[in-house]
Structure 1
Amino acid sequence: MAVRAVLCVLLGLHCSVFCSPVPRVSVCGYESCPATKPKMLNVHLVPHTHDDVGWLKTVDQYYYGGRNDIQHAGVQYILDSVVAALQKDPARRFIYVETAFFYRWWKQQNPSTRRVVTQLVEQGRLEFINGGWCMSDEATTHYSAVIDQMTLGLRFLNDTFGECGRPRVAWHIDPFGHAREHASLFAQMGFDGFFFGRLDYQDKARRMKAREMEMVWRASQSLKPPAADLFTGVLPNGYNPPPGFCWDQSCSDAPVQDDPDLDDYNVDMLVATFLNIASAQAQVYKTNHIVMTMGSDFQYENANLWYKNMDKLIRYVNAQQANGSVVNVLYSTPSCYLQELHLANLTWPLKTDDFFPYADDAHDFWTGYFTSRPALKRYERLSNSLLQTCNQLEVLGGAKSRSGPFGEGHSDTMKRAMAVAQHHDAVSGTERQHVAYDYAKRLATGWAHCQVLVRNSLAVLSGSDVPRVFCENLNISVCPLTEGSKKFSMNVYNPLARVVTWSVRLPVNGTSYSVTDSNGKEMDSQVIPVSKATQDLRRDRGYAKYELVFEVQAPPMGYTTYSVTLLKAHPARAPTTPKAPASMQNKYLKVTFDPATGLLSGLTNLETQQSIQLTQNFYWYNASGGDAESRQASGAYIFRPNSSTPISINQNPNISTLQNSVVQEVRQQFSPWVSQVVRLYNGSRELELEWTVGPVPVADGLGKEVITRLDSNISSAGYFYTDSNGREVMERRKDYRPTWDLKQTEPIAGNYYPINSRAFIKDGRNQMTVVTDRSQGVSSIYNGSLEIMLHRRLLHDDVRGVEEPLSEPGEFADGLVVRGRLLVMLTPPETAADMHRPLAQGMVLQPMLSFQEGALPRNAKLEFSGLQAALPPAVHLLTVSQWSNDSVLLRLEHQYESSESKTYSLPVTVNLQKLFSTLEIVGVSEMSLGANQWKEDMKRLQWKPSTGDDMKPVGGGLGDPTPWEITLQPMEIRTFLLRVQRR
């Protein structure tokens, strides 16, 4: 214990969390669970509240109880009331999930209340479940942001309550479908089990009949079992109480009226009803233990109502045991219920796929939210990239990055804003409009605080205090500094652990520029006219006539600097050519066009001599408002077109073309609200499709779901492939589910799946991969085809609680305009992952550009890398974040699956002492993925799946050559706490 205490001090850890020399006297965790009766049906009542971190109201409105005209909900009162109610009876229990709300509430409590709460936690009567900052969405979130938000919440609980604050169960009762990668992450974080509330109605019916509502989910094809195995249970009533037993102030069910001298005495009726419900539920589960969720959205504001009635229910139901009843009711928690399932020592069904798409009825597929609010989805992804850069520069710049020449900067605001954005009614796009604005505002505030930190850090690293400007609207050619400056420098920071090449487009008004790199070498650059589509989109926010285009290259986890000098302001550039070329090509790709329409017609990989026919166009599905077959309409959650045939926007777009030594473009105007640039950079192995959609017209009374479809002659045979939260790839098949016989009732919506970074189709010779810049919905309705939903504007609510149509007004109140990019690759299937994985990572973690006016000081350091050398191609630097004054949280990830790459799907070793260029590592300890346990202490409950596999635990440190050299297996993420000193 003394050695552990010293290590804690060295690593800057909160000692009460990991290494208290004198253990606290507590009975939390499994030891605190109430006794059950082995020969009876034990009914575990789980008092809980589900508190959305924003949905119909903003986070602040939900916490304080504001805007109750929208929804009556006040989280601060829930926690006040529950804590008071728990003190009245030691048998009572409660679970709490959303750390974002509890963190706020805890900060406002006096020492006396904090002592009471700490005692309740240490007695296991107030138990934290899941523990993330929020309950994240599982379809539209990227795994790196999910890990961050879980780490934020788990760390607060550990810092506040020590070991008793550590959740043992993952709890996703409300997300609308469940991703395999989430289960894998939860397993690697040390959770013993996972419970959720929503699954497809057909799947649920089958599972109930087969008594397979609980299972072992094998959530990785690469990690050796049981590293990513997670016991998973489907809750019987979603997350609501059984019918007739809701006793919140928001409910209308009768209370337990137990005075026989008064009217409406109902104990006998309620007990009989409850026993019938318990008996029926027991028929679809495997053990003599069942669970009932006693609570729902924002309930327990007056906890006395719930507990007073549950006390009576328990007393009266259990009294029937004297008459021969075999039902035993008790207050419990998900972890206590899980422990009883483990003690049953049964063999459980094995699950290896995922739970997408989710439908709650024949025509009600929750696949629209994969794309809903596409601008917010993109802003969240960009914010994640900035946060990782901010975290890295906080480490590299040291204390002066937080308090330096440009003021106080920090990453905390962005960490919390990004954590809130992962909520299942945030990045999912299923919130009300004013709440979406609030999420964006929080992210914008996080940007501002991070940008101060970045300015400070880059000033320290470069030695230049010249003010630094960030241009956040480069995608619409807006940057006042570059538009008006005759001389400026551009800093390119690369957050990836490998050298990155990136094409830059800067709005300018001159026609000739000199661009030099950090060594003074002249770069090939070209000036091209700003497109009409971009001018229309930016309106009066910028005035640049041209874009300066050139290629940059940045070192791993570091920056480089380019100097730009105006040479000529006149004459004006020649106009573009008003037709498509027969083809455009560089040394890697050849792209052909239909001479009659100007649309894509083919793609050739010149390195491998592969060639496919490839056409692409834009279409829209007419969103149903309900019909004779079903009243279900398309809305924020649900995608339901009224026809399986989408409507083509234009088969003959207006065309203009430009070609030079840096970039070739075919600009296509399909309609006043849809345009695209087909773009091929000189050094790119991928084709870029930059699409612009909006404002989507609805004056015709038709809601529209806008897609782009790529049709090829690849023989895909009904199969296509999508990523799971940006990591492992899932095989999809049209009109098919791996674990039950699907009765397909919606041939389009029922075949849509979420993508976070990439999707592809393939045959024996060709693989076409599409990399996206945000989370979107994708399908393959026809062989050789991929369609991606880009934008949605709808006129009806889908009756899932939002009570407003998804019709975003946009900046100018005439409808939202969205611009994005798709990258298309053609490769042999056996080598495709070698290219599309790094390309996808580069789309997620983009270089950050900053600008300084005029010439830089002579002594400025123009190039810097925080690493001694680039990491091996298979290794991704997932996290570098300041943990305490002298400790850093590090996550390294093997980014290839075990069988997807002949070159990179092999173990790889990294020497930690040879990692950083300016930091010396003097202490290291491995942690769980959530960074709330030492890895050596992470002991999970083991389960027996129906395969009978050897289930011996796998240690993450097996095979390390030395304590400083760590080996990563395919798809493995390893988390370390480093004690560092500056070199």
Structure 2
Amino acid sequence: MIRASFFFSNMAAGALQLAVALLSLFSAVLSFPLGPETKHTTTCGYESCHATKPNMLNVHLVPHTHDDVGWLKTVDQYFYGDRNDIQHAGVQYILDSVVDQLLKNPDRRFIYVETAFFYRWWKRQSSSAQQTVKQLVNEGRLEFVNGGWCMSDEATTHYSAVIDQMTIGLRFLNETFGACGRPRVAWHIDPFGHAREHASMFAQMGYDGFFFGRLDYQDRMHRMVQKEQELLWRASDSLTPPTADLFTGILPNGYNPPEGFCWDQSCDDPPIRDDPDLEDYNVDDVVMRFLTIANSQATVYKTNHIIMTMGSDFQYENANLWYKNLDKLIHYVNAQQANGSKVNVLYSTPSCYLQELHRANLTWALKTDDFFPYADSAHDFWTGYFTSRPALKRYERISNSNLQTCNQLEVLGGPASRQGPFGEGESQTMKKAMAVAQHHDAVSGTEKQHVANDYARRLANGWQRCQVLVSNSLAALSGSSAKRIYCDNLNISVCPLTESSKKFSVSVYNPLARPVTRPVRLPVNGTAYAVSDANGKAVDCQVSTREVRRNRGFAVNELVFQVQAPPLGYSTYSVSLRQAGPRPASAQPGAPTVIQNKFLRVTFDPDTGLLSSLSNLETKQSIKLTQNFYWYNASDGNNLESNQPSGAYIFRPNSSTPFVISRTAKTETIQVQFPHMVQEVRQWFAPWVSQVVRLHGDSRALELEWTVGPLPIDDGLGKEVITRLDTSIKTSEIFYTDSNGREVLQRKKDFRPTWNLMQSEPIAGNYYPINSRAFIKDDVDQLTVVTDRSQGGGSIHNGSLEIMLHRRLLYDDVRGVAEPLNETSNIFPEGLVVRGRLLLSLDPPSVAADAHRPLAQEVVMQPLLTFTNGDLSPNTRLEFSGLQAALPPAVHLLTLTQWDKDSVLLRLEHQFQSWESKVNSQPVTVNLQKLFSTLDVLGMSELNLSANQWKDEMMRFKEKPLLKTFQDPSTWEVTLRPMEIRTFLLRVSLR
């Protein structure tokens, strides 16, 4: 086994400093700053740790609370303690009580995680109370861990949104508390499986370690036997070690206290009764039980230090209960040392515990894969939430794209963009709403229905405010004050303006740093239209009949035309109704034989109407490809093997064989006027499942637009709907998925890389999160599927890839949410209808990433359409790019957002892994001073990934303010290597 080693040397005054050395291919070093900070009036961080005893078992008690940013109650309800009929929880009272109790004993410690809650509480405190809290933080008695706006989910989140939510939380802590507010450890005690990309991000954010609570029950047993519950996670195969190396610890009891030692008002364990005159005096019993538990726990960890999490969900509302008993526990257990006991108990924090592990100078197992899927027993795989609430998952992804556009236009439009009813806060509401949506019970789909509605409401409110900013910015850039209209319901083919107007314009803003070409589809009622681009040149367009979902809107047709948008910019197209023209393209019944463009050829079986093959005409590749829809009968828990039903978290089909929805597809082919533009085949599999197979003229990807719902439940059966692609590719039971939208991981059926799996659920146990893409391949062919949201999927059969699209369940899975995943709405009282897209590409494996990486980014960062009615003023600027030139194909502009009045935050990302592409997996150099068309870059300094430390000081243990003098570099060129993200604070002026 590859091992990892840590080496330390003693420095002056007894301080420890890391000696960083890469020993060999078979060892790895974790950068870990243990040197003393410059002394001011603070003793936070590692200096604040209580002394331990070298010849004893040191038990680190970590008082904590786990405060979900929405789950059974909304964020507001949790903060205020409202709706206690659902769950007794009030975060404001927790923080009030903890601060009060910390002041009573300087030995006490407490850690806090969720900045979204702390921020709200902090803003309501008096200045004297804030000073008191600052003193507690400066003395290390109140310590922040993780520090993001929330504790994000790791399966269904996109890395760009995770980085944003971490940045907003850590920035508040940094600006409020300085260096003592900076968390030293990442703390993900509740997410349901752990992604490698999260560990990579945490390492690049400067965390010294990462602790979590949940991992597969078989994996835990293996690690307990091998004493490998603490390890070094090498979280990238492209970044040079130790850039993405992160020490990782698995907590012994999830995030709960040991059995019998819970002293919260929500617990039933007896308090420590230490009056010897009492009949029920129990100190001896408590001490004996604690020593037994501590010594037992020590047998499955490697050092003479163990950690115990003393707290749980929303605990410490009456912190006196906990601390009074913890004080006694420490006192009475340590008193046994006089009788020969070798156990030493102390108040501690995760960072103090981590420091002792590194001082132990041991070797640690090295891990290079991830911790998916997660199961807590043989038939209980938490793989259903990869797909749960697919409509919310899509809305979150769209909202992320909208936020990036909002952020970029705030910068490009300058101060004029921030003029409006909300003042300087136009984008803040959206940033916070998106940050909350990353919570592990938000985008994951594992919350109650009323909470899911609240998350969506927050996103909608945030976007409404951002629309003011976007309109202001586009007005400033275009010179037009015409009212901008947003058609937020284009996903259901509804846009009142385009349905009624005889003349309008549409501006297409592209948030990517390279030009994009894509089709625009607008609901209309006319039969013929003229479209012209920003140069007045006529653009081919097509009108076809279109079945609009339900009775929303009143359009009977759909207008389609191709648009081109410059990098980080917009292009404006004019649309006019013509009095006469060709009849709208209509659907003709009957199965088509083939559709094709200059890149792809798609054939259909004439008997079944199903896809039968896919060919790449450029590379002369061809594979058999059949696609169909199926549903798994969700277990109701009433069977011999297990009583576990499918639910919001858990996927458990009643059988390994899904029900085919239809063995044939009723099809219609659109007779097109412009076959070089778009060709469509419409398929119906059931009244509640339909699909459009769409091939655009200049696209190298085949589009499958699926519509599923409402899932019928009149038969009393919960349904989990999948689409399955069966191909002639020889996969050897291997397929590949992305990790949070970035690096790709290999998956193998019924296999785990670091432990021997005993498979008990052949379907659910082979499902993995697909955040943006998955693929199957052999030596000749690679079929890549790009998704428009996070979904679960697997390769159950050789040459096959299945993706779960929608779930509707009739039973709760007994994991706390206490309601079945049975989504309805006012519009769809009989059950939600969900629409989405899959994009399929066929390429040789050696060049596939060159196509699917940019394609996945286009789906994540989609253009924003804004509309104006009537004629634009003649002086309107119809086209604009915020860049002097497009960035190279390997480089993605990840972040451009206003930081303060005169500076912006910029992240540039190399989006290829080191092995993916002969062309694009090479270092790329970008000149920052020649980057923007409207901004002069006057100074720059590089930050860590989360923008709360200077990059050149990230591995040092020094107190420094965040904003220092900007560098005036002799060269403005920065080089990006594969999978590298570089973050810069730029001082700029608007040209």
State the TM bucket, normalised to the shorter chain: over 0.9
Match of 1:395 in 2: 411
Match of 2:23 in 1: none
Match of 1:679 in 2: 694
Q: Does 1:979 align with 2:991?
A: no
Q: Does 1:644 align with 2:652?
A: no
Contact preservation (8 Å) 2:528, 2:582: no
3-state secondary structure, aligned to 2:199: helix
Q: Report which stretch shifted further, 963-972 or 759-768.
A: 963-972
Match of 1:903 in 2: 919
3-state secondary structure, aligned to 1:382: helix
Match of 1:955 in 2: none
Match of 2:19 in 1: none
Match of 2:625 in 1: 614
3-state secondary structure, aligned to 1:542: coil
Match of 1:11 in 2: none
Q: Does 1:807 align with 2:811?
A: no
> CA distance change for structure 1 residues 933 and 642 in 2, over 3 Å: closer, same or farther?
same
> How far apart are 1:112 and its partner, in Å?
1.1
Match of 1:707 in 2: 722
3-state secondary structure, aligned to 2:377: coil
> How far apart are 1:653 and its partner, in Å?
2.1
Which amino acid letter does the alignment assign opposite residue 754 of structure 2? T
> How far apart are 1:659 and its partner, in Å?
3.6
Aligned equivalents of 1:631, 1:963: Cα separation in 2: 65
Aligned equivalents of 1:653, 1:695: Cα separation in 2: 19
- Matching of residues 213-224 of structure 1 within 5 Å: 213-224=229-240
Aligned length: 940
Which amino acid letter does the alignment assign opposite residue 915 of structure 1? L
CA shift digits 1:563-622 (9 cap, x unpaired): 011113678535311012110000000000000111100000000000000000000000
> How far apart are 1:472 and its partner, in Å?
1.2
> How far apart are 1:805 and its partner, in Å?
0.2
Aligned equivalents of 1:826, 1:409: Cα separation in 2: 45
- Matching of residues 350-365 of structure 1 within 5 Å: 350-365=366-381
Q: Does 1:319 align with 2:335?
A: yes
3-state secondary structure, aligned to 2:474: helix
CA shift digits 1:818-842 (9 cap, x unpaired): 0000000000000000000000000
Aligned equivalents of 1:307, 1:25: Cα separation in 2: 26
Aligned equivalents of 1:250, 1:961: Cα separation in 2: 57
Contact preservation (8 Å) 1:408, 1:452: no
Contact preservation (8 Å) 2:528, 2:583: no
Which amino acid letter does the alignment assign opposite residue 352 of structure 2? C
Match of 2:577 in 1: 566
Of 362, 372, 375, the match for 2:391: 375
Match of 1:946 in 2: none
3-state secondary structure, aligned to 1:144: helix
Which amino acid letter does the alignment assign opposite residue 487 of structure 2? C
Match of 1:751 in 2: 766
3-state secondary structure, aligned to 1:974: strand
Contact preservation (8 Å) 2:193, 2:214: yes
3-state secondary structure, aligned to 1:239: coil
Aligned equivalents of 2:886, 2:132: Cα separation in 1: 51
> How far apart are 1:765 and its partner, in Å?
0.3
CA shift digits 1:709-767 (9 cap, x unpaired): 00000000100000000000000000000000100000000000001100000000000
> CA distance change for structure 1 residues 408 and 243 in 2, over 3 Å: closer, same or farther?
closer
Match of 2:488 in 1: 472
- Matching of residues 270-669 of structure 1 within 5 Å: 270-403=286-419, 410-531=426-547, 535=548, 537=549, 539-568=550-579, 573=584, 575-626=586-637, 627-660=639-672, 661=674, 662-669=677-684
Aligned equivalents of 1:575, 1:70: Cα separation in 2: 52
- Matching of residues 154-165 of structure 1 within 5 Å: 154-165=170-181
> CA distance change for structure 1 residues 832 and 940 in 2, over 3 Å: closer, same or farther?
farther
RMSD between aligned residues: 1.4
Stretches of structure 2 that go unaligned for 5 or more consecutive residues are: 1-36, 958-967
Match of 2:750 in 1: 735
Aligned equivalents of 2:128, 2:598: Cα separation in 1: 71
Contact preservation (8 Å) 1:494, 1:848: yes
Aligned equivalents of 1:409, 1:247: Cα separation in 2: 42
Aligned equivalents of 2:837, 2:656: Cα separation in 1: 26
Aligned equivalents of 1:290, 1:906: Cα separation in 2: 44
Aligned equivalents of 2:90, 2:990: Cα separation in 1: 47
Contact preservation (8 Å) 1:394, 1:881: yes
Which amino acid letter does the alignment assign opposite residue 186 of structure 1? F
- Matching of residues 883-898 of structure 1 within 5 Å: 883-898=899-914
Which amino acid letter does the alignment assign opposite residue 640 of structure 1? R
After TM superposition, which residue ranges in structure 1, 4 or more long, deviate above 6 angstroms?
Answer: 405-409
Q: So what's the TM-score if we normalise by structure 1?
A: 0.95
3-state secondary structure, aligned to 1:124: coil
> CA distance change for structure 1 residues 940 and 697 in 2, over 3 Å: closer, same or farther?
farther
Which amino acid letter does the alignment assign opposite residue 128 of structure 2? S
Aligned equivalents of 1:327, 1:682: Cα separation in 2: 72
Match of 1:8 in 2: none
Q: Does 1:143 align with 2:159?
A: yes
Q: Does 1:765 align with 2:780?
A: yes
Which amino acid letter does the alignment assign opposite residue 586 of structure 2? P
Match of 1:953 in 2: none
> CA distance change for structure 1 residues 87 and 973 in 2, over 3 Å: closer, same or farther?
same
> CA distance change for structure 1 residues 241 and 405 in 2, over 3 Å: closer, same or farther?
closer
Contact preservation (8 Å) 2:724, 2:802: yes
Contact preservation (8 Å) 1:921, 1:980: yes
> How far apart are 1:409 and its partner, in Å?
6.5
3-state secondary structure, aligned to 1:369: helix
Aligned equivalents of 1:970, 1:573: Cα separation in 2: 48
> CA distance change for structure 1 residues 87 and 611 in 2, over 3 Å: closer, same or farther?
same
Aligned equivalents of 2:375, 2:498: Cα separation in 1: 50
Aligned equivalents of 1:673, 1:568: Cα separation in 2: 37
3-state secondary structure, aligned to 1:621: strand
3-state secondary structure, aligned to 2:151: coil
Q: So what's the TM-score if we normalise by structure 2?
A: 0.94
Of 958, 961, 964, the match for 2:972: 964
Aligned equivalents of 1:676, 1:962: Cα separation in 2: 56
- Give % identity: 75
Aligned equivalents of 1:719, 1:652: Cα separation in 2: 29
Which amino acid letter does the alignment assign opposite residue 631 of structure 1? N
3-state secondary structure, aligned to 2:587: coil
3-state secondary structure, aligned to 1:789: strand
Match of 1:693 in 2: 708
Which amino acid letter does the alignment assign opposite residue 741 of structure 2? G
> CA distance change for structure 1 residues 940 and 431 in 2, over 3 Å: closer, same or farther?
farther
Which amino acid letter does the alignment assign opposite residue 270 of structure 1? V
Aligned equivalents of 1:572, 1:220: Cα separation in 2: 55
> CA distance change for structure 1 residues 48 and 22 in 2, over 3 Å: closer, same or farther?
closer
Contact preservation (8 Å) 2:542, 2:584: no
Aligned equivalents of 1:495, 1:685: Cα separation in 2: 21
3-state secondary structure, aligned to 2:577: strand
Contact preservation (8 Å) 1:705, 1:791: yes
Q: Does 1:788 align with 2:803?
A: yes
Aligned equivalents of 1:22, 1:790: Cα separation in 2: 54
Which amino acid letter does the alignment assign opposite residue 977 of structure 2? Q
Aligned equivalents of 2:851, 2:426: Cα separation in 1: 35
Contact preservation (8 Å) 1:409, 1:452: no
